[in-house]
Structure 1
Amino acid sequence: MATLSKLYSMREAAEHNTRDDCWVVIHGKVYDVTSYLDEHPGGDDVLLSAAGRDSTEDFEDAGHSKSARELMQDYYIGELDPDTVIPELEIFRKEKSSAFTTMLTNKTVQYLAVPAVILGVSVVAGILFSRSK
């Protein structure tokens, strides 16, 4: 029979973000790494910067060894409650476009703009050439 682990909300985990009380969340699991701060090979500042938040990406980016992953089990205290997790939001900012950029994005104008510019440059060059004679 499997033992049930305690469920923690992300809000609860976020409250444990100090040197005296340091939790990290990795892959939906909650770890109390307070007693490991001084032993962490990367220094305590790495763990403190990850404290109280989901640090999965940071953990994976660091390329931890198999033995490091096994050592994590000593600090495991529970699971992140999936009902309290707020999915990461992607925020898109719509840039305000000027009338000119809106006009240039119009397909009809795009196909006419290049020949019009070439024609204009040719006319100006012709006028300048004829005046120089």
Structure 2
Amino acid sequence: MPTLTKLYTMQEASKHKTKDDCWVVIDGKIYDVSSYLDEHPGGDDVVLDATGRDATDDFEDAGHSKSARELMEKYFIGELETSSPAIPELEIYSNKQLNGYSQKLMHLTEQFWAIPVAVVGISVVVGFLYLQKK
């Protein structure tokens, strides 16, 4: 009888990024490496830096051996749900918040419009004087 593989979203996997609860995602598979952190030859900080995102490229760039790849299976807990986005959902600002930011920006541009105009004006005058001396 085939065993069912648990599916996790990247958002779920990204919540497990502490030394006591550490999951990594490599090649669409999720590994709970919490108990392996102290044994990792590169140190636990290397693994902890790879949590919360797809660490496939980091893993491949490190040139792990065949035995390291075999050892990974011991920590396998599930697969990444393919229908989920590759990164956790970004925080979406409400229109009210955006309107607040745009109002602040408009207020700043109303206050300090003279500075860029002065810079452009001075640049034109200096350029004109420079060309007259030639």
Give the equivalent residue in structure 2 for 1:67. Answer: 67
Report which of the two structures shows the higher radius of gyration computed on alpha carbons: 1
Shift of 1:27: 0.1
Letter in 2 for 1:63: G
Following TM superposition, where does structure 1 have runs of at least 4 consecutive aligned residues deviating by more than 3 angstroms?
Answer: none
Q: Given that residues 29 and 79 in structure 1 are in contact (C-alpha distance below 8 angstroms), is that contact kept between their aligned partners in structure 2?
A: yes
Question: Which whole-Å deviations, capped at 9, do the CAs of 1:25-64 have from their partners, x for residues lacking one?
Answer: 0000000000000000111011010112210000000000
Superposition TM-score, scaled by structure 2 size: 0.62
Give the equivalent residue in structure 1 for 2:14. Answer: 14
Q: CA RMSD in A?
A: 1.2
Tell me the distance in 2 between the aligned counterparts of 1:71 and 1:65: 10
Tell me the distance in 2 between the aligned counterparts of 1:53 and 1:86: 8
Give the equivalent residue in structure 2 for 1:126. Answer: none
1:107-126 equivalent positions in 2, closer than 5 A? none
**Is 1:58 equivalent to 2:58 in the alignment?**
yes
Tell me the distance in 2 between the aligned counterparts of 1:34 and 1:86: 22
Shift of 1:23: 0.3
Q: Given that residues 10 and 85 in structure 1 are in contact (C-alpha distance below 8 angstroms), is that contact kept between their aligned partners in structure 2?
A: yes
Q: Structure 2, unaligned stretches of length 5 or more?
A: 88-134
Give the equivalent residue in structure 2 for 1:33. Answer: 33
Give the equivalent residue in structure 1 for 2:117. Answer: none
Tell me the distance in 1 between the aligned counterparts of 2:37 and 2:52: 14
Question: Which whole-Å deviations, capped at 9, do the CAs of 1:75-130 have from their partners, x for residues lacking one?
Answer: 0000000011338xxxxxxxxxxxxxxxxxxxxxxxxxxxxxxxxxxxxxxxxxxx
Q: Structure 1, unaligned stretches of length 5 or more?
A: 88-133
1:89-104 equivalent positions in 2, closer than 5 A? none
Which structure: greater helix fraction?
2
Identity %: 70
Tell me the distance in 2 between the aligned counterparts of 1:27 and 1:51: 14
Tell me the distance in 2 between the aligned counterparts of 1:86 and 1:37: 24
Superposition TM-score, scaled by structure 1 size: 0.63
Three-state SS of the structure 1 residue aligned to 2:52 is coil
Shift of 1:3: 1.3
